[in-house]
Copies of this chain bind each other. A is one copy, B any other.
C-alpha cells in the first residue's frame, strides 16, 4: 500500500469517528469533506458505508477493552471495577451514536465488530469477578444484569443529556445497589 493511501485511510477513520459520533445520520460526503478527500476515496478504502461504520465501532470497542485489561492489573479490583464503569458511562455518547448509526444503516454488526464486543465483555467480566472476590461487589450479581446496567446507564446518560453531577448521583445509586448488602 502506498504511503498516501495509508495516510488517507487513517484520516478517513478519524473523520468518521468524529462525524458519526456527533450525528448518526451523517452522510458519507460529510466524512469525506472533514477528512479532506474526495468521496470516491472513502469508498475505495471502505466498500460500503456499513463497512466504514463497523471499522470505527470496532476500534472504539477495542479501546474500551484495552482500558479494562489495563485496569485488570490493578491491586484494588473494587476501585478498578467502579472506575471502569464510570469511565465507560462518561464516554458513551459518541460511542452509542456510532452503534446506532450502524443499526440504522442496515442490519446488525458484522463479525469483526461482534468479535470486538465479545472481547470487551470478557474483559469487563474479568473486572467484575475480581471485584466480587474482594467483596467490593455483591457476589450474587451476575454478568448479564451487571452488563445490562452498564449499557442502561450509558444510554440513559446519553439520552437524557445528563450534566455530570446528576450523572454521578445516578451512578452512586447504581453503585449502592451493586455493593454487598450491609
Complexed CA–CA distance, A149 and B166 (Å): 10
Query: Does chain B have a CB within 8 A of A25?
Result: yes
A-B contacts, 14 of them at CB < 8 A, read A141-B173, A144-B166, A145-B170, A148-B166, A149-B170, A149-B173, A149-B174, A151-B160, A152-B154, A155-B159, A173-B178, A174-B174, A175-B177, A176-B176
Provide the residues of chain B in CB contact with A178, threshold 8 Å: 173, 177
Tell me the chain A residues, 33-59 only, with Cβ under 8 Å from chain B: none
Q: Is the CB of B148 within 8 A of A162?
A: yes
Contact of A148 among B151, B157, B177, B181 (CB under 8 A): B157
Query: Does chain B have a CB within 8 A of A167?
Result: yes
Q: Is the CB of A181 within 8 A of B182?
A: yes
Provide the residues of chain B in CB contact with A30, threshold 8 Å: none
Provide the residues of chain B in CB contact with A152, threshold 8 Å: 152-157, 159-160, 170
Query: Does chain B have a CB within 8 A of A142?
Result: yes
Overall SS of chain A's interface: helix
Determine how close the nearest CB of chain B comes to the CB of A125; give it in whole angstroms: 15
Chain B residue nearest to A169 in the complex (CB): B145
Determine how close the nearest CB of chain B comes to the CB of A173; give it in whole angstroms: 4
Complexed CA–CA distance, A115 and B124 (Å): 40
Closest 9 CB pairs of A and B: A152-B156, A177-B177, A155-B155, A145-B169, A176-B177, A145-B170, A152-B152, A148-B170, A173-B177
